[in-house]
Amino acid sequence: MRKLTLLMAPVLAMAVTGCIEPRITDTGRSAVEQNLISHSVERAVDTMSFTAYAGKKAVLDIAKLAPQCDKDYVTAVIDTHMALSGIDVVDKPENADIKIHFYCAVLATDNTKLEIGTPGIPIPLPNTDISFGIPPISIFKRVARTGSCRMTAVISDAKTGKLLNAYRGVQSRTFFNHWVLFMCIPYVTRDVEVPETGTISYDFMAE
How confident is residue 207, by pLDDT bands cut at 50, 70 and 90? very low
Do 152 and 143 contact (CB within 8 A), yes or no?
Answer: no
CA-derived radius of gyration, the chain: 28
pLDDT value of residue 126: 78
pTM for the full predicted model: 0.75
Q: Give the 3-state secondary structure of residue 150.
A: strand
- Residue 116: other Cβ atoms inside 10 A: 10
In whole angstroms, give the CA distance from residue 145 to residue 142.
10
Q: Are strands 57-61 and 98-118 parallel, antiparallel or unpaired?
A: parallel
How confident is residue 29, by pLDDT bands cut at 50, 70 and 90? confident
Please report whether residue 1 resides in a domain: no
Please report whether residue 46 resides in a domain: yes
pLDDT value of residue 14: 53
Please report whether residue 129 resides in a domain: yes
If you write DSSP's letter for every residue of 119-139 in order, what string do you get?
--EEEEPTTSS-EEEEPPEEE
pLDDT value of residue 27: 85
pLDDT value of residue 137: 79
In degrees rounded to 5, what are phi and psi of residue 99?
-125, 135
**Domain housing 179:** 28-190
Integer angstrom CA distances of residue 136 from 120, 204, 207? 4, 53, 61
Whether the pLDDT of residue 192 is over 90: the answer is: no
Whether the pLDDT of residue 16 is over 80: the answer is: no
pLDDT value of residue 205: 44
The rounded percent of the chain whose pLDDT value lies above 90 is 54
How many domains does the structure of the chain reveal? 1
In whole angstroms, give the CA distance from residue 33 to residue 71.
16
Number of H helices and E strands in the chain, helices first, is 3, 8
| pLDDT tens per residue across span 58-106 | 999 998 887 777 899 999 999 999 999 999 999 999 999 999 999 998 9
Listed residue (190, 185, 175) closest to 141, CA to CA: 185
How confident is residue 202, by pLDDT bands cut at 50, 70 and 90? low
Please report whether residue 20 resides in a domain: no
In whole angstroms, give the CA distance from residue 163 to residue 156.
4
Please report whether residue 38 resides in a domain: yes
Mean pLDDT of the chain: 84
Please report whether residue 21 resides in a domain: no
Whether the pLDDT of residue 13 is over 80: the answer is: no
Instruction: Kindly report the CATH number assigned to the domain that includes residue 159.
Output: 3.40.50
Please report whether residue 200 resides in a domain: no
Instruction: Determine the residue type at 55.
Output: G
Do 116 and 139 contact (CB within 8 A), yes or no?
Answer: yes
What is the dihedral angle through the alpha carbons of 181, 187, 192, 197, rounded to the nearest 10 degrees? 170
Whether the pLDDT of residue 112 is over 90: the answer is: yes
Higher pLDDT: 21 or 153? It is 153
* Terminal Cα distance for the chain, rounded: 80
Mean pLDDT of 26-43: 91
In degrees rounded to 5, what are phi and psi of residue 70?
-105, 35
pLDDT value of residue 130: 77
Whether the pLDDT of residue 31 is over 70: the answer is: yes
Please report whether residue 19 resides in a domain: no
